[in-house]
Amino acid sequence: MANLDFFAARDDQIAIIEFILAETDFRIFETASAFGEPLKAFRSIAELDAVARLGTDKHGNGTAHLLQLWSPSVMKKLEIERIKLDPKTCRGHTFRESIGGWALVQLYLGGVHGRAITKSHIGHNSETRARNWGNKGGVDWAALKKLSNRLRYHVSRRLAVAKAPGRPVLPAAHALVKQGYLLKELAHSDWSHEIKG
C-alpha cells in the first residue's frame, strides 16, 4: 500500500484540493452518503467546504472528512453501491450509497480540534494486495502509481515546510505549531509529535 500521513490545517487542505482538481483527473467523492441521500461528488472547494468546513476535525479523530479519489484513467468503471437500510433502526431511512473499487485513493482529512492538529492521510491498495483480495482486473496500476506519486510528492515535497517523524507538516499547520498547537494522531491522545529540523 502507498501511504502518506501528514499534518494540514485549513489553507493546506485547500491547497491539496486545488492541486487535485487542477492537476489530476481525480474526481472527489465522499466515502459514504448520509442516510437517504445519494453519494456526493465534489467539483469545487466551495462544494466540499459547504458539507464540512475544511481544516477542522470536529471529533478529533483524524477522520473529519473521509474522501475517495476516483480516476477514469485508472478505473474506467465508477462503482457506486446502494446499501439497503432497515428504516426501524435508521430513523426511517431505507438506503445510503457508498463508492467502491480496488484502485480508489483515500484522502482522510484531520485538522484542528481545540489546540491540536490531527493527522491527515493519503493511501491506496497495491496491485498485489488487491489481487490477493480478489481483484480480477480493470485497473491500470501504472497510471495509479503515477497519479499517486504526483499527489504524494506535491504534499510531501512542494507543500511541506517541516517534518514530524515520518509525517510532513504543511505551512498553515506549521504556523499553528509556532502558536502552541500540538501535532497529534488523535486529539485526545496523551502524546504529540515534535517537529524535527
pLDDT tens-digit profile, the chain (197 residues): 589 999 999 999 999 999 999 999 999 999 999 999 999 999 999 999 999 889 999 999 999 999 999 999 999 989 999 999 999 999 999 999 999 999 999 999 999 999 999 999 999 998 899 889 888 788 999 999 999 999 999 999 999 999 999 899 999 999 999 999 999 999 999 999 999 86
48 in a structural domain: yes
Residue 190 in domain: no
User: Is 192 contained in some domain?
Assistant: no
Position 117 in a domain? yes
Q: What's the domain range around 30?
A: 2-184
- The answer to whether the CB of 96 falls within 8 A of the CB of 37 is yes
Q: Is residue 196 a part of any domain in this protein?
A: no
Q: Is 2 helix (H, G, I), strand (E, B) or coil?
A: strand
pLDDT at 65: 93
Is 189 domain-assigned? no
Does 40 fall in a domain?
yes
**CB neighbourhood size of 42 (10 A):** 20
How confident is the model at residue 52, as a pLDDT?
80
CB 101 within 8 A of CB 75: yes
In this predicted structure, what is the pLDDT of residue 22?
97
Q: What integer pLDDT is reported at residue 156 of this predicted model?
A: 97
Domains contained in the chain, number:
1
What DSSP assignment string belongs to 102-121? TT-EEEEE--EETTEEEEEE
Q: Let me know if residue 193 belongs to a domain.
A: no
